[in-house]
Amino acid sequence: MCKRSINNGFSFFILTNQTPPMNGQKMMFNQKKLIKKEFWKAASALFLASSLLIGNHLVASEIKKEPLKTVISAPTYNEQLINAAHSAILAQYHYDRLPIDDQLSERIYTLYLKALDPQKTFFLQSDIDNFERYKYQFDDFVRQSRLEVPYQMYDLLIQRMDEQYDLVEELLKEDYDFNVDRSIVIQRKDADFPKTKKEMRALWKDRLQNELINLMVTDEKLTLDEAKAKLQKRYNTRQKRIHDMEEGELFSLVMNVVSLSFDPHSGYYSAKQMEQFNISMSLSLQGIGTVLRQNDDSVSIVEIVPGGPADLTGQVQIGDEIIGVAQGEDGEFVDIVGMRLDKVVEMVRGEKGTVVRLQMIGNKGKGGEKIVKIVRDTVKLEEQEAKSKVYTMPSDVEEAEYKLGVITLPAFYSDFEGNKQGVQDFKSTTRDVKKLLLELVNKEHIDGLVIDLRGNGGGSLTEVIDLSALFVGSDKSIVQTRGFDGNTDAQSSPNEDLIYTGPMVVLIDRLSASASEIFAGSMQDQGRAIIAGSTSFGKGTVQTMIDLSRILAKSTKPGQSKVTIAKFYRANGESTQEKGVEPDVHLPTTYDPTEIGESKEMYVMSWDTIDAAPDYDPSVVITDDIATKLQQKSEQRFKEDEKHQIYKRQSDKTLELWKVNELSLNLDTRKEKLKTEEAENLELQNRMRVLYGYEPLTLEQFRNEDGTYTKLLKDTQTDLLLEEGLLILRDYIDLIDVEKTLDMTDESDAEEIVMP
């Protein structure tokens, strides 16, 4: 998804679940003139808002209880101007056109508190009671660029954090009872804020006990004193980081909170953040192939580049938290908990061929610690290109063998710049898939096709429309788009013609988003494919990037606004927003939909419907009878086939881990639990290894495993869900053949009846 700027200062991004998106493209529906008009309306609103800046200053000194070590009490004048521009643009042409009023103020307030203290471990309830008076004033703060209150709320947070981190040193000197029959809540988003300092102290004592147990369970040789020393060092790093805020960071936080009050995909990026992002995207070509995000005081994996070094280990998963980084085969681990994200990224990156070792906790802190060795490499863009493979599979109802093709598509990519410059062979999803498809049809003579979109987060709108035409033709509506002006446009492909008409299965999962959902939804609406997997992500919105320097010409590098300006809809009129695409055949998943997906976000734009496209024909949709039969056959395999049973158990265990929100504070209980889980995981892995013809692992090998086995399972030939997708395709072809036979029999009988 490459960015392309147009003269009015807007850079359009589309159909991706990445934030910010890697590439982009001009919108396909006619909104350019309207956006120009709205742009200048926003500019006019800016000048009006700017006039309110003079003489306005709100002092909320009652929030600040004592002198702070870090004080950012008020925004700069430049930040006030940027706020006025950014908020005016959001109000003027965000898709929902939300007014900046008391209702939005409550959203901003709620999001800001969540951003400041997500685990409710720093603020006291009395602090929250004090903040409550401002709940319905944030709209005024934003509209008039009076940001002193949110800035001083942050100052109080720093004060409270200093108090708690100072308390850590005191608490670590105390004795701990590791034989207690008590648990700790891991995610405290639904908990109350501590009412007293006594409650806060007890909360932190339990928190430290849990972290000590984590350290001692992971490293059995670690003594309690050594664990305490390690933990103290970790908190010293955290405390140092909170005073290491760079200029503009707090302002960016406030602006992003304001943006998120409109929807989860709008945002603000300072000039430095955009510059860092562009650099990171180019440098990430040599590294481990992951996208990292700063959480409260940890760094987590939010995206894994398919085929990259991290992906190929098979051990790195989305949601894993990095707590330590070591260089080389035997370098000492550096504790990165509490460290700034940019510094962590510098440690993780490196030259091709060098080794980095990551110490991680799986599943958002709910899993055990693990150490993963990764050899840095150039992240080959070819790994994200479309690939094909051919499999043979016997029919389940007759003596026949089917030749089945698989096309794996990690992203809907397109070299927009190459296309713009007239490069003849520029990279294109449609061009690559078309070439593969022609080989599969004309050379391999396949009987059926699987399109694998698992993990595909989206990409180019033009590419998904053109690609869909290869399977439905150029005259069919692929997607409908509706802009903030209410105009709807049904889009088909003028560029591509129908190539493949045979049976198809499209594999999706919870990470299939945006453009992937358009393709899957289109194939479902046109009756062209069985959709198999789990419910997709549910992102059905379109964003645009606006360079604020087009408005604030005298301002210094004001950054860019990212605003949701459109929604897309299926040919049948249904949105994919929030609900995603529902598969015809449901398969086991390792992703908890309450933790991953659009629906888990706050203030998401709602699912809705519009009129179906004029050429939509509901009679072509694959019948419920066929889908039910395929679902039953799939479920039967997961009940009876050993490989399927093992995979189902492994996925169930992962889902169970997502739901865990309490951990015992008893050391022996935790050790026993880890031992039991370790033994069960080893048994499941070894059973699967034997089924695939590999030697089982010993416990020592399992504990020090370098990813060989998990990498094996990620290979196409041993991908259980892909194997199941092929089996579903086989069953689908069998059903089609049976129906054809019945139709021929009916026609033959009818002819015999009318013969003289």
Query: What are the catalytic residues?
Result: 514, 525, 539
| Nearest-angstrom CA–CA distance, 499 and 496 | 9
User: Which residue from 703, 701, 712, 706 is spatially nearest to 373, judged by alpha carbons?
Assistant: 706
Q: Which residue has the tokens 């203030």?
A: 603
Residue corresponding to tokens 């909320």: 60
The values of phi and psi at residue 755, to 5°, are -70, 140
CB 410 within 8 A of CB 303: no
Judge whether 519 and 576 are in contact, CB under 8 Å. Answer: no
Q: Please provide the DSSP assignment of 351-369 as one string.
A: -TT-EEEEEEESTTTTS-E
- Cβ atoms of 430 and 18 within 8 Å: the answer is no
Partners of residue 726 on adjacent β-strands: none
Handedness of CA 362, 281, 416, 538 (dihedral sign): positive
> Greatest CA span in the chain, whole angstroms?
106
Buried b (16+ CB within 10 A) or exposed e, 200-213: beebbbbbbbbbbb
What radius of gyration do the chain's Cα atoms show? 28
Task: Please choose, from the candidates 531, 513, 640, the residue with its C-alpha nearest in 3D space to the C-alpha of residue 587.
Answer: 531
- List % helix, strand, coil for the chain (3-state, nearest 5): 45, 15, 40
- Locate 345 and state its tokens: 């990224």
Question: How far apart, in whole angstroms, are the C-alpha atoms of residue 533 and residue 573?
Answer: 22
Within 10 A of 404 (CB to CB), how many other CB atoms are there? 25
| DSSP 8-state class, residue 383 | G
Beta-sheet strand order (sheet of 530-533): 387-394, 401-408, 448-452, 504-508, 530-533, 585-586
307 SS3 class: coil
Cβ–Cβ < 8 Å for 517, 461: no
Question: Both tokens of residue 562?
Answer: 């990212």
CB atoms within 10 A of CB 420: 11
> Quick count: other Cβ atoms within 10 Å of Cβ 444?
13
Q: Show Cβ contacts of residue 572 under 8 Å, excluding neighbours closer than 6 positions.
A: 525, 612, 613, 616, 618
CA 579/CA 567 separation, integer angstroms: 13
Map residue 532 onto helix, strand or coil: strand
List residues bridging with 378 in a β-sheet: 286
| CA 295/CA 117 separation, integer angstroms | 11
387: phi then psi, degrees, rounded to nearest 5: -135, 155
Tell me which residue has tokens 């430049």. Answer: 78
